[in-house]
């Protein structure tokens, strides 16, 4: 298994450290303090160009055009009494005994409903945000009220929420000890409703990830509220608890049962989400720890796509995966057989008995039950069936029954995801933005293959925070072409594209295969599908410069200018060559005199590295012209052409002795050295002196002695500093 998965490590095409992202002028950053305050992007309102962020003791209203400008703040700490009680209970003073904002939901056009952990005493309030952003109104407009059943006590325990028709639906832990997890409806004129308490068939040590209202047909009464979570489930032996990713759903208009499940959901059902890799021996390697989800509206016949980030922390390997699910497949599972335990070992089997009417999980007043206006009208057998059979028998498999993206044996794991649907010259592509636990964001394009989505290409990796900490949220605005990122230390804003970073040549732009970018005849720039310019060059599917870049000086681009480098016999020398893209493979050739080019034979003495060719203990036979050839996506080009001249140690020793004020001791004048060394060494020495003389003439150096010796000796001693071309872009 590990041999197969080890092949799934991917290279990034471009890596940006923070200083370089800052230079691109496509980056903004906001923080209240150098201290970790656990920022979470909780609500984005693109209609009003505002984004609402919760952190420790603060609520923030940010301008999505530029988050570092016109940010409005509300300071809302927990009361001194609650903080003292929290600390006396032994909770973490820094990361527990504060008011960590976890719920920000739109209540109406002018007000938000917010909730925080309140130093282990959840609290909620209404915030007036005004009718228009230009009013600059942002203030708490009500007395604080209890947040129990709306927000978890522990800020380290996830709280997810959705506001529907001024009713709050939450997935959280409802008690101080964190033992009673529930999906709860509150803030309602109707009765509050929750999941069946202490019933492990319904919820078993859940960690809530996200919640979304998803339509089911044309009747709004049939819409379901889906909660994505992971939980620990006991296996058939009853001994081991395994983590499983699940999706649960309820009907928002559920008011509970009349005689059974009073004030409890009568439409609650759940199913397992499977994200696994099938091995050659037909066994499955599962990624079971759901970390984040993203819903993408598409024109696909099966409609909505659900992207999930999964991780695995088994003793065998660590890894991350992204699986994508069709909403049509999700509905098929929820309309399929129910799970039932039977037999001496209580094995899960498909329920074969009679299923009552209306089918359990159906919403009242919908297309299939127009005559039933309330769940209190459900027959007792329907309510009893839901209480005992809330789990679907069939799991939900991803598209193609395999992950879209897999990363194993990497030093990071994925924590969050946002997806953009991009129109390119040769079709539509899904671009994934994946946050990591190292505080970076990877940009990945999904390439169709044989009619299914099964190939991904990492376009770039961005470092978006000064301090390394896991990404907590990603929010995307296709309208603004911006990505918003949060972590413990702040919120960052980056553009979805940095086309000029791919290079200043057509071939580089084409090889990047970024759907946002195309060659416009002069530079690599933003691609607009409505543009009529014929000179636009873009090929995401194949990335072939030979077909796209004809007429753009491609021949000159593929060749390299010859450089001369000097090596000292029996010493070490380094020939520098690094492709802009780590995805390119490099091969070295050597041409001696007028002989044909031959591939350099690598050994312990001659080593090819990521930055060039290292030659230990240089031999006379190493002299020649070296060609560094890079191949990427079938496109070949010469990155470097280096003429290596070998000097003897005797010559170097002679040139390193003390010199007269005019540059050379009389006995060591170049004319006196001609007869002492080989013709090749003499030619090399003359060539070097000629180059130095030309350089001195350009620089108008007054002291030839100082210029010659100051340059020649460090060169021969191999202590000359190099300006390396590095894909890790630096200042």
The model's pLDDT over 466-515, given as tens digits with 9 standing for 90+, comes to 899 999 999 999 999 999 999 999 999 999 999 988 888 888 899 999 99
The confidence score (pLDDT) of residue 282 equals 76
How does pLDDT run across 596-632, given as a tens digit for each residue?
Answer: 999 999 999 999 998 999 999 999 999 999 999 988 8
- DSSP code of 134? G
**Cα 476 from Cα 417, distance rounded (Å):** 10
The confidence score (pLDDT) of residue 504 equals 84
Span 200-204, mean pLDDT? 93
Q: What are the tokens at 205?
A: 């040590």
First to last CA, the chain: 42
Burial (0-12, 13-18, 19+ Cβ within 10 Å), 709: middle
The confidence score (pLDDT) of residue 719 equals 34
The confidence score (pLDDT) of residue 102 equals 97
The confidence score (pLDDT) of residue 448 equals 79
Span 70-92, mean pLDDT? 95
How does pLDDT run across 414-457, given as a tens digit for each residue?
Answer: 999 999 999 998 889 999 999 999 999 999 998 877 655 467 88
- DSSP code of 336? S
How does pLDDT run across 18-74, given as a tens digit for each residue?
Answer: 556 556 667 899 999 888 899 999 999 999 999 999 999 999 999 999 999 989 999
Give whichever of 318-322, 679-683, 710-714 has the largest mean pLDDT.
318-322
How does pLDDT run across 267-293, given as a tens digit for each residue?
Answer: 999 999 999 998 777 778 899 999 999
The confidence score (pLDDT) of residue 690 equals 67
The confidence score (pLDDT) of residue 685 equals 61
The confidence score (pLDDT) of residue 660 equals 40
Residue 149: pLDDT band (50, 70, 90) is: very high
The confidence score (pLDDT) of residue 348 equals 82
The confidence score (pLDDT) of residue 712 equals 41
Give DSSP secondary structure letters for 613-665. Answer: EEESS--GGG-EEEEEEEEETTEEEEEEEEEEEEE-HHHHHHHTS---TTSS-
How does pLDDT run across 646-673, given as a tens digit for each residue?
Answer: 988 877 777 666 554 444 444 455 554 5
Span 193-203, mean pLDDT? 93
The confidence score (pLDDT) of residue 632 equals 86
Mean pLDDT check: name the lowest of 245-259, 350-364, 538-552, 603-617.
Answer: 538-552
Span 347-352, mean pLDDT? 88
**Cα 391 from Cα 351, distance rounded (Å):** 11
Judged against a pLDDT cut of 50, whether residue 119 lies above it is answered with yes
Judged against a pLDDT cut of 50, whether residue 333 lies above it is answered with yes
C-alpha angle 538-539-540 in degrees, rounded to nearest 5: 115
- Which is more confidently placed, 340 or 674? 340
How does pLDDT run across 299-316, given as a tens digit for each residue?
Answer: 776 689 999 999 997 767
Tell me if the bond preceding 665 is cis, omega within 30° of 0.
no
Is 112 within 8 Å of 155 (Cβ atoms)? no
Beta-strand (E) ranges in 31-153?
A: 40-45, 50-55, 58-63, 72-75, 101-106, 111-116, 123-128, 139-140, 145-146
Judged against a pLDDT cut of 80, whether residue 556 lies above it is answered with no
Phi, psi of 644 (to 5 degrees): -95, 115
How does pLDDT run across 7-18, given as a tens digit for each residue?
Answer: 344 555 566 665
Please provide the average confidence, as pLDDT, over all residues in the chain: 85
Judged against a pLDDT cut of 70, whether residue 705 lies above it is answered with no
The confidence score (pLDDT) of residue 682 equals 60
């Amino acid at each position: 298994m590990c041999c197969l998965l080890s092949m799934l490590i991917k290279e990034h095409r471009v890596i940006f450290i923070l200083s370089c992202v800052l230079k691109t002028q496509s980056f903004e950053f906001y923080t209240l303090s150098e201290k970790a305050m656990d920022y979470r992007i909780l609500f984005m309102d693109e209609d009003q160009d505002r984004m609402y962020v919760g952190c420790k003791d603060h609520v923030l209203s940010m301008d999505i055009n530029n988050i570092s400008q016109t940010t409005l703040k509300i300071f809302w700490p927990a009361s001194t009494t609650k903080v003292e009680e929290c600390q006396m209970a032994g909770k973490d003073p820094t990361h527990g005994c504060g008011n960590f904002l976890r719920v920000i939901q739109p209540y109406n056009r002018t007000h938000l409903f917010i909730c925080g952990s309140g130093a282990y005493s959840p609290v909620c309030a209404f915030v007036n945000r005004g009718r228009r952003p230009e009013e600059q109104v942002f203030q708490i407009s009500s007395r604080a009220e209890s947040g129990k059943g709306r927000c978890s006590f522990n800020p380290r325990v996830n709280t997810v929420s959705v506001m529907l028709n001024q009713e709050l639906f939450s997935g959280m832990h409802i008690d101080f000890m964190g033992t009673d997890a529930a999906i709860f409806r509150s803030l309602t004129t109707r009765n509050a409703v929750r999941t069946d308490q202490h019933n492990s068939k319904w919820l078993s040590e859940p960690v809530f990830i996200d919640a979304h209202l998803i339509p089911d047909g044309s009747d709004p009464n049939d819409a379901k509220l889906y909660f994505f979570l992971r939980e620990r489930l006991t296996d058939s032996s009853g001994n081991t608890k395994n983590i499983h990713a699940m999706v649960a759903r309820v009907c928002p208009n559920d008011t509970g049962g009349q005689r059974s499940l009073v004030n409890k959901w009568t439409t609650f059902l759940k199913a397992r989400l499977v994200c696994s890799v099938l091995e050659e021996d037909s066994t499955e390697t599962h990624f079971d720890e759901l970390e984040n989800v993203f819903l993408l509206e598409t024109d696909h016949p099966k409609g909505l796509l659900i992207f999930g980030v999964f991780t695995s922390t088994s003793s065998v390997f660590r890894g991350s995966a992204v699986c994508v699910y069709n909403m049509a497949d999700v509905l098929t599972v929820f309309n399929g057989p129910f799970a039932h335990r039977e037999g001496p070992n209580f094995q899960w089997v498909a329920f074969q008995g009679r299923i009552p009417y209306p089918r359990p999980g159906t919403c009242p007043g919908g297309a299939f039950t127009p005559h039933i206006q309330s769940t209190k009208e459900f027959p007792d057998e329907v309510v009893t069936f839901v209480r005992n059979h809330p789990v679907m028998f069939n799991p939900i498999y991803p598209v193609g029954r395999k992950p879209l993206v897999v990363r194993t044996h990497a030093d990071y794991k994925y924590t969050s995801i946002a997806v953009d649907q991009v129109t390119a010259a040769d079709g539509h592509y899904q671009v994934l933005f994946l946050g990591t636990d190292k505080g970076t964001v990877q940009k990945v394009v999904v390439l169709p293959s044989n009619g299914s989505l099964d190939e991904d290409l990492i376009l770039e990796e961005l470092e978006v925070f000064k301090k390394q900490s896991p990404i907590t949220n990603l929010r995307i605005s296709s309208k603004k072409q911006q990505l918003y990122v949060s972590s413990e230390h702040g919120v960052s804003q980056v553009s979805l594209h940095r086309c000029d970073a791919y290079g200043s040549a057509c071939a580089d732009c084409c090889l990047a295969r970024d759907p946002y970018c195309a060659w416009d005849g002069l530079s690599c720039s933003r691609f607009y599908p409505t543009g009529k310019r014929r000179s636009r060059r873009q090929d995401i599917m194949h990335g072939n410069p030979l077909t796209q870049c004809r007429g753009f000086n491609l021949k000159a681009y593929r060749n390299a200018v010859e450089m001369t480098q000097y090596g000292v016999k029996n010493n070490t020398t380094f020939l520098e060559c690094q492709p802009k893209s780590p995805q390119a493979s490099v091969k070295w050739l050597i041409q001696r005199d007028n002989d044909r080019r031959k591939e350099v034979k690598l050994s312990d003495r001659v080593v090819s590295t990521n930055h060039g060719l290292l030659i230990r203990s240089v031999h006379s036979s190493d002299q020649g012209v070296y060609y560094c050839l890079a191949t990427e996506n079938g496109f070949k080009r010469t990155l470097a052409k280096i003429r290596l001249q070998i000097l003897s140690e005797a010559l170097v020793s002679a040139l390193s002795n003390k010199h007269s004020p005019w540059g050379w001791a009389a006995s060591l004048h170049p004319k006196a050295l001609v007869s002492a060394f080989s013709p090749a060494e003499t030619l090399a020495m003359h060539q070097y002196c000629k180059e130095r003389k030309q350089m001195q003439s350009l620089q108008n150096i007054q002291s030839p002695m100082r210029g010659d010796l100051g340059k020649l000796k460090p060169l021969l001693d191999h202590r000359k500093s190099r300006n390396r071309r590095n894909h890790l872009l630096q200042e």
